[in-house]
Amino acid sequence: MLTSGCAWRDLRPSFGVPVQTAHRRFGRWTEAGLWRDLHRALLNERGSEGLIDWSPAILDAASVRAKKRGSLTGPSPVDRGKPGSKVHVLSERGGLPLSIGVWAANTHDSEALKPLVNAIPTIRSRRGKPPKLHADKAYDIPAFARLVAPTRNHPTHRPQRHRILRKPTSTSAVT
């Protein structure tokens, strides 16, 4: 759904309302902020039960085409300059989204890092920012250290340098 979307005409009749009614209600709920409130309620419920795994948080993006253009579109560097957007999602380890943002396709990923981390709502049983963050190299910017929670260092250990954590890659040849 993230990359392909869903057409309103594909809504099944078993949903119980005509397509036009579903579209109209979706628009009203969006304007009223229902989805933001529902997301915050879900995060608070999961957080109060201790079901949000903050070690580590995960950040990634997907490029999507924007055939009808719009205010958050730009020439896509991965699709021959056709109009597109990037959807960035910051989630906890289990995949529950903590914050979501949309930028023009030609915006560098590192520009989304700070707004996404700052957009994480205050969640019951948790204050502050994630202590670790998994993302690809495009998000690794010098100002990153100020965006994650400080780590507690033992007096005998050297201070840790904050970095975006990436999956280790193997350099050995596959036989």
Q: Is residue 19 part of a domain?
A: no
Q: Which structural domain, as residue segments, surrounds residue 77? A: 53-146
User: What pLDDT was estimated at residue 91?
Assistant: 92
Q: What is the DSSP letter of 161?
A: P
At residue 152, the pLDDT reads 52
pLDDT of residue 66: 82
Q: Identify whether 12 is part of a domain.
A: no
Cα 131 to Cα 151: distance, rounded to the nearest angstrom: 7
With vertex at residue 137, the alpha carbon angle to CA 132 and CA 139, rounded to the nearest 5 degrees, is 65
Whether residue 11 lies inside any domain: the answer is no
pLDDT in tens, the chain (175 residues): 444 567 778 888 888 889 899 889 999 999 999 999 999 999 999 988 888 888 788 888 888 888 777 787 787 777 777 888 888 999 988 899 999 999 888 888 888 888 888 888 888 876 667 778 888 887 777 666 566 655 554 444 444 444 555 554 444 444 4
pLDDT of residue 158: 45
Per-residue model confidence (pLDDT) at position 97 = 93
CB neighbour list of residue 123: distance below 8 Å, 6 or more residues apart = 43, 44, 47, 52
Cα–Cα distances in angstroms (integers) from residue 63 to residues 74, 133, 165, in the given order: 11, 21, 22
Q: Is residue 29 part of a domain?
A: no
| Residue 94 covered by a domain | yes
CB 61, CB 87: distance < 8 Å? yes
Number of domains in the chain: 1
On whether the CB atoms of residues 131 and 144 are closer than 8 A, the answer is: no
Is residue 119 situated within a structural domain?
yes
Q: Is residue 35 part of a domain?
A: no
In a domain, 104, yes or no: yes
The one-letter code for the residue type at 163 is: R
Neighbours of 29 (CB within 10 A): 13
